[in-house]
Amino acid sequence: MDTNFTAKVNLDLLQKDMDMSQRQIAELVELNEKALYKWSYDKDRGGTRPTYDAIKVLLENGASINAIFGIEDKVKLNVVHDDSLNIVLDGLKKIIDAMQG
């Protein structure tokens, strides 16, 4: 099983989820707009992916997992309980740490 985070971020959906412009999202995650836009590129074309800290900030500010991980709307993931976000973030941190380690 491939554990690399290769899916492109859906910036249009991210903007819709968060009701923010790309500039506002870039400022929120402390990037410039060009660096944010690279999240939507294929990795073999110079694309990058968000860090754990950026993912955490995005989720805390209304982004959907669908937008961040490029998941199509076949499955809707909803955070129901306040603890659910922490569980998701802990799981994501473990995955990202494993990919980098």
Q: What mean pLDDT is reported for the chain? A: 82
The pTM for the full model equals 0.66
Residues 77, 87: contact at Cβ < 8 Å? Answer: no
Q: Which amino acid is at 81?
A: H
- What is the Cα–Cα distance from 100 to 60, expressed in whole angstroms? 23
Question: What pLDDT was estimated at residue 2?
Answer: 46
CATH code for the domain of 15: 1.10.260
Number of domains the chain contains:
1
Residue 18 pLDDT greater than 80, yes or no:
yes
Residue 32 pLDDT greater than 90, yes or no:
yes
- What is the Cα–Cα distance from 73 to 22, expressed in whole angstroms? 21
Question: What pLDDT was estimated at residue 37?
Answer: 94
- 42 falls within a domain: yes
Residue for token pair 């694309």: 47
- What is the Cα–Cα distance from 77 to 12, expressed in whole angstroms? 18
What domain range is 96 assigned to? 11-100
- 25 falls within a domain: yes
